[in-house]
Amino acid sequence: MTISIPRGTKDILPGEVEKWQLIEKKARELCERYQYQEIRTPVFEQTDLFARSVGDTTDIVQKEMYTFTDRGGRSLTLRPEGTAAVVRSYVEQKMYGFPNQPVKLYYMGPRFRYERPQAGRYRQFVQFGVEALGSADPAIDAEVIALAMNLYWELGLRKLKLVINSLGDTESRNAHREALINHFRPRIGEFCSDCQTRLEKNPMRILDCKKDREHELMKTAPSILDYLNEDSRKYFEKVQQYLKDLDIPFEVDSNLVRGLDYYNHTAFEIMSDAEGFGAITTLCGGGRYNGLVEELGGPETPGIGFALSFERFIAALEAENISLNVKQEIDCYIVAVGEKARDYSVKLLHKLRMAGFSAERDYLNRKIKGQFKAADRCHAKYAAILGDNELEANKINLKKMDTGEQEEISLDEFIDYFKSIME
Ligand code: ATP
Ligand code: MG
């Protein structure tokens, strides 16, 4: 019996992986421009970290975690998201004491969630995200949003919708919370069991319920925007002003509630509105989490970040018919015929590579025609042709593949010559 890949995961093969590399490269390049530095944290963490930070009323903690007990009896969890670990590290490594403030970090890597697999929803997926810790300036909210939008734009996406909301500060949230409880309580029996638990624990999360989306009480629920106090309202206005200054179009949606418990003030999502993208349209989600550092044992520190997945990014590119043009070509393919020439080509190939060129030779003992075909298949710019006779005469033929032009070069000078034409 053959063994198949685990449900909800996928292999990314050559031909496809170049897209991933390109997104990765662009993300790193943007982070350099925006001055975010990479942080790498373990793939697993203590289970308590997620229970405490992500929140025990969330889908993630309630039903999506890959949790296991290791041989030492510790409960560990494969990370389902990135923020918790970054903040854990921020506190543990005392980054609040670093000279450069705010601390601006980015991460890239696999996440694990036990979900029902479907288009855009995997059990292992790759997220890119940033976190800016230590500043409560609304300009940084705009910066974080701009970075995410720019990444999509620079790789060609056009059909994007940015939706923002404010969840307010603690005072505003508490007032809203009260109003939500009063709104839902009389008819909470009509809601799913998750929502019934959420009513007391975190009623705002009812608004994010996927099962009860269509319930009439959802549409008439009190809006957080009516409960923002003066400070929260001003903060939100400032974020909006900055987005306008940066020419980033957005919509305000007072029903936007992020899945995680620790958000306050700015919350945002970027969706694709490309036709035929399918039911799951959110590409990126983020927001401010001013209480989280404290929750994890650090000093009171504001923070904001986002996370987006490569899987949905690529799906959005496909929905907009954007093919990331990843050119795959090599500098030189050595076509060697005859035993001595083939032996020599091992050395020559090595020299080409040591000189910094991408180069390949035949390993299947193909005839000359087959070797040229192989050179074509890897889009070689040049073929270097060597037979036993040429070797004897200390010569090699260099063929420019696109024009067919061919010239004879002294074998000793080949590498230098190749360098000169490739400059
Ligand atoms: P959803 O509402 O779609 O379940 P979420 O609120 O659980 O999303 P976040 O935890 O905010 O998602 O993660 C940020 C981003 O990561 C999402 O906007 C989405 O692009 C991506 N993402 C989340 N879950 C998955 C998954 N299972 N497979 C692929 N991408 C995912
Ligand atoms: Mg989810």
- What is the 115 CA–ligand 2 centroid distance (Å)? 8
Q: How far apart are CA 103 and CA 293, in angstroms?
A: 13
Q: How far apart are CA 114 and CA 256, in angstroms?
A: 24
Sequence-distant contacts of 371-378: CB under 8 A, at least 24 apart: 371/333, 371/335, 371/336, 371/337, 372/335, 374/333, 375/333, 375/335, 375/401, 376/401, 378/328, 378/329, 378/330, 378/333
Cα of 281 vs centre of ligand 1, distance in Å, is 10
**Token pair 């003030």: residue:** 265
Nearest CA-CA partner of 42 in 32, 50, 30, 33 = 50
The pLDDT of residue 62 is 85
List residues near ligand 1 (CB under 6 A). Answer: 81, 113, 115, 120-122, 125, 127, 259, 280, 282-285, 307-309, 311-312
Domain stop point among 319, 343, 377: 319
| pLDDT the model gives residue 166 | 96
Cα 272 to averaged position of ligand 1 atoms, centre (Å):
13
Same domain, 51 and 164: yes
* Domain assignment of residue 205, yes or no: no
Looking up residue 375, the CATH number of its domain turns out to be 3.40.50.800
In a shared domain, residues 366 and 286:
no
**Separation CA 32–CA 4 (nearest Å):** 39
Q: Whose CA is nearest to atom 17 of ligand 1?
A: 284
Rounded to whole angstroms, the Cα distance separating 368 from 341 reads 12
Q: Where are the alpha helices (DSSP H) in 161-274?
A: 170-184, 193-201, 216-219, 230-245
pLDDT of 260: 64
Q: Which two tokens stand for residue 124?
A: 């292992």
Instruction: Find the domain containing 409 and state its range.
Output: 330-422
199 neighbors 207 (Cβ within 8 angstroms): no
Q: Probe ligand 1: pick from 151, 282, 311, max atoms within 8 Å of CB?
A: 282
pLDDT at 204: 87
Q: Tell me: cis bond preceding 102? Omega within 30 of 0 counts.
A: yes
Write the residue with the smallest CA distance to atom 25 of ligand 1.
121
Are residues 106 and 21 both part of a single domain? yes
**How many domains, the chain?**
2
Structure-block tokens of residue 340: 């001595």
**Do 373 and 304 lie in a common domain?**
no
Report pLDDT for 261.
Answer: 63
Distance CA 159, CA 319 (A): 10
Can you read off the two tokens belonging to residue 150? Answer: 């720019």
Q: Which two tokens stand for residue 292?
A: 């989280």
CA of 128 to the centre of ligand 2 (A): 16
Closest residue to atom 26 of ligand 1, CA basis: 121
Pocket test for ligand 1, best of 111, 123, 304 (most atoms within 8 A of CB): 111
For 323-370, how does the pLDDT look when each residue is reduced to its tens digit (9 = 90+)?
Answer: 887 778 999 999 999 999 999 999 999 999 999 999 999 999 999 999
**Residue 418 and residue 297 in one domain:** no
Residues 311 and 335 in one domain: no
- Taking the alpha carbons at both ends of the chain, their separation in whole angstroms is 53
Counting beta carbons within 10 angstroms of the beta carbon of residue 261, is it exposed (0 to 12), middle (13 to 18) or buried (19 or more)? buried
Strand, helix or coil at 91?
helix
Structure letter (DSSP) for residue 118: B
**Ligand 1 geometric centre to CA of 399 (Å):** 50
Residues 283 and 384 in one domain: no
| Domain endpoint, select from 319, 343, 376 | 319
Q: Is residue 214 situated within a structural domain?
A: no
307 alpha carbon, closest ligand: 1
For residue 64, the CA-to-ligand 2 centroid distance in Å is 8
What are the structure tokens assigned to 97, written together? 């004491």
Q: How far is the CA of 124 from the centre of ligand 2 (A)?
A: 12
Give a yes or no: residue 222 inside a domain: no
Q: What is the pTM of this model?
A: 0.92
User: Do 334 and 366 lie in a common domain?
Assistant: yes
| Together in a domain, 95 and 161 | yes
Centre of ligand 2 from the C-alpha of residue 359, in Å: 44
Q: How far is the CA of 309 from the centre of ligand 1 (A)?
A: 7
Tell me, yes or no, whether 180 lies in a domain.
no
> What is the side-by-side order of every strand in the sheet holding 160-166?
37-38, 103-112, 124-133, 303-309, 282-288, 264-272, 160-166, 251-252
Q: Write out residues in the chain with pLDDT < 70, as ranges.
A: 259-261
Closest protein CA for atom 12 of ligand 1? 285
* Strand (E) or helix (H) holding 147: helix 138-154
Same-domain status, 275 and 157 = yes
The token pair that represents 58 in the structure block: 């969330």
- String of DSSP letters for 25-86: HHHHHHHHHHT-EE----SEEEHHHHHHHT-TTSHIIIII-EEEE-TTS-EEEE-S-SHHHH
Angle between helices 138-154 and 230-245 (to 10 degrees): 40
Q: Give the ligand 1 atom nearest the CA of 284.
A: 18
- Asked whether residue 79 is domain-assigned, the answer is yes
Nearest ligand, measured from the Cα of 259: 1
278 and 372, same domain (yes or no): no
The answer to whether position 83 is within a domain reads yes
Residue type, position 294, single letter: E
> How remote is the CA of residue 207 from the centroid of ligand 1, in Å?
17
Q: Which ligand is nearest to the CA of 269?
A: 1
- Minimal CA–CA distance to 297: which of 49, 41, 81? 49
CATH of the domain at 43: 3.30.930.10
Among candidates 303, 323, 339, 334, which has minimal Cα distance to 418? 334
Is residue 221 included in any domain, yes or no?
no
Q: Are residues 75 and 150 in the same domain?
A: yes
Please identify, among 319, 352, 378, the residue that sits at the C-terminal boundary of a domain: 319
Contact yes or no for 128/27 (Cβ under 8 A): yes
Residue nearest to atom 5 of ligand 1 (CA): 259
Q: For ligand 1, what atom is nearest to the CA of residue 60? A: 7
In a domain, 311, yes or no: yes
CB crowding 84-114: b at 16 or more within 10 Å, else e: bbbbbbbbeeebbeeeeebbbbbbbeebbbb
Residue-level pLDDT at 3: 96
